[in-house]
Amino acid sequence: MVAPLGLAPFVPSGGDFQGSRALFLALGFEELWSADEYIGFRSGGAKFILQNFNRAEFASNLMIRLDVPDLDAWWAEVEGKHLDSHFPGFQIKPPTSFPWGRESHFIDLAGVCWHVGEP
Q: What is the CATH number of the domain that holds 81?
A: 3.10.180.10
Tally of domains in the chain = 1
Residue 61 in domain: yes
87-117 pLDDT, tens digit each: 999 999 999 999 999 999 999 999 999 999 9
Residue 37 in domain: yes
Contacts of 69 (CB under 8 A, 6+ apart): 118
Residue 59 in domain: yes
Residue 87 in domain: yes
Q: What's the mean pLDDT in 40-60? A: 97
Residue 3 in domain: no
State the Cα angle at 66 between 39 and 54, rounded to 5°: 40
Residue 69 in domain: yes
Q: Quote the pLDDT of residue 28.
A: 97
Residue 4 in domain: no
Q: Quote the pLDDT of residue 64.
A: 98
Residue 2 in domain: no
User: Domain containing 15: what range?
Assistant: 10-117
8-49 pLDDT, tens digit each: 999 999 999 999 999 999 999 999 999 999 999 999 999 999
Secondary structure letter of residue 77 according to DSSP = H
